[in-house]
Chains A and B, each alone.
Chain A
């Protein structure tokens, strides 16, 4: 546990003064989990609102602007509606798996949030295999999607889930390899260490050409990993209804929906941490005020989230064969060559240090 901002320090000391040590650390973990859960549930809702607004601006519309000031309460109202709705399901669904699936998706999404370094001190869980943990966790979500599609007893849901399986298994490779390219520079999987390395220039600057290629591959594969357009064959409204969550309603549907947006945040946050120096400010302009790191981190994340939204509202959906061609014939070979190039650059010490 590595949280020691001013406020949390006081709470931490107070907890350990009133309780035995074991109980206090468990309470602290539960508190942190609750805070993360609450913050990111609301955050996810506002990401949905942002997506709708950005989509509207891309299509010369206005987007939600009726509920609350400029539509700011729209998604909260939507969530309230979803909570109050009946949970329906198909008659011959596999009830146990059907009910289990949304939790797989949402829990794996929320687990990944624990390791991000929002500022130097504000990081809930700084393990030494941070990147590895993120890659592993982000691929667990697909099990939830497969379970949901399989147990719904609906052919569209099944097709959607199977497509998701194909897609995620293929593109995980590219995500892992493009992050590995950057790990060659940092020499560490620990996220706080990766940030430490970037104090001499963000990794995308340090690694120059291969880093930019790795970033492009990462963005393509990351968009595919979150099942967003143009890689949204899992949902493909025009072909499959809603894909794997066709049969879900109410809060269970909301879990899938929320997980999609939290995953988008996670993909952007990994990109921020690995390529753009996490909470580090450009040229160290606010180095004297450490807590401003949160704003730098979120600012960078939002730029990348916007990039993903830009992709979504620009590109048409790929066919499944095009999807696999892109991964196995283009991204993967380029990625492998890129790793060799990066290894050469690190070996010859051609890194740009600011």
Chain B
């Protein structure tokens, strides 16, 4: 008769559920996922896949990996990336070459969709893990990502 097996299975599944939550309760001290934010801002680390804002990493010689191909600018659905570029004559070879002047990034327009970072062929831009992005004026949200006097890293374009 399914009546009695219903009772048996019902009690069994209820006890299983209580077992699961009971284990969680007993391990609550160790497993707490709450971050006490303002107090622990020195030690608080965001997880790897967190999308804070787009940054362009520079190495010690102040070189970045952006070739100015503008694929990110095309990929961005909101137009939050603007690349100001120029053609510069290379003094050694005498050839003209595209080079970025300013990589302008409007954080205020960005939806953190990550399409620009996926589009970038040279991995010049990445996500930062910072999370305190609020400012007092909208104009502060417009950032120039390449540092002044920075150059393209050797070997990126090869």
Contacts and interface: CB of A to CB of B under 8 A. Distances in A.
Interface string B1-33: 000001100100010011011101100100111
Interface string B31-61: 1111010000000000000000000000000
A315 B28 contact: no
Contacts of B10: 330
A54 B18 CA distance: 14
Contacts of A330: 6-7, 10
Contacts of A315: 14, 17
Contacts of A314: 17-18, 20-21
A330 B10 CA distance: 11
Given A315-B14, A330-B7, A60 B21 contact: no
B32 A58 contact: no
Contacts of B14: 315
B28 A310 contact: no
B26 to A, nearest CB: 9
Contacts of A61: 32-34
Contacts of A310: 18, 21-22, 25
Interface residues of B, number: 17
A58 B22 CA distance: 8
Contact of A58 (B7, B24, B36): B24
B32 to A, nearest CB: 6
A210 B34 CA distance: 44
A313 interface: yes
A60 B28 contact: yes
A60 B31 contact: yes
A261 to B, nearest CB: 20
Interface centre among B6, B10, B14, by most A CB within 10 Å? B14
A320 interface: no
A313 B21 contact: yes
Contacts of B34: 60-62
A59 to B, nearest CB: 8
Contact of A60 (B20, B22, B24, B36): B24
Interface in A58-94: 58-62
A60 B17 contact: no
A227 to B, nearest CB: 19
Interface in A309-329: 310-311, 313-315
Contacts of B21: 58, 310, 313-314
A314 B22 CA distance: 9
A60 B33 contact: yes
Nearest to B10: A330
A334 B8 CA distance: 13
Nearest to B27: A60
Given A314-B17, A330-B7, A62 B25 contact: no
A57 to B, nearest CB: 4
Nearest to A330: B7
Nearest to B28: A57
Interface in A266-317: 310-311, 313-315
A317 to B, nearest CB: 13
A284 to B, nearest CB: 30
A60 B32 contact: yes
B130 to A, nearest CB: 24
Nearest to A220: B14
A27 to B, nearest CB: 47
Nearest to A63: B34
18 contacts: A58-B21, A58-B25, A58-B28, A60-B24, A60-B31, A60-B34, A61-B32, A61-B33, A62-B34, A62-B36, A310-B18, A310-B21, A310-B22, A314-B18, A314-B20, A315-B14, A330-B6, A330-B7
Given A58-B25, A59-B24, A311-B18, 9 more contacts: A56-B28, A57-B28, A58-B28, A60-B33, A313-B21, A314-B17, A314-B18, A330-B6, A334-B7
Interface of A: 54, 56-62, 310-311, 313-315, 330, 334
The 6 closest A-B pairs by CB, nearest first: A57-B28, A314-B21, A62-B34, A314-B17, A60-B31, A60-B33
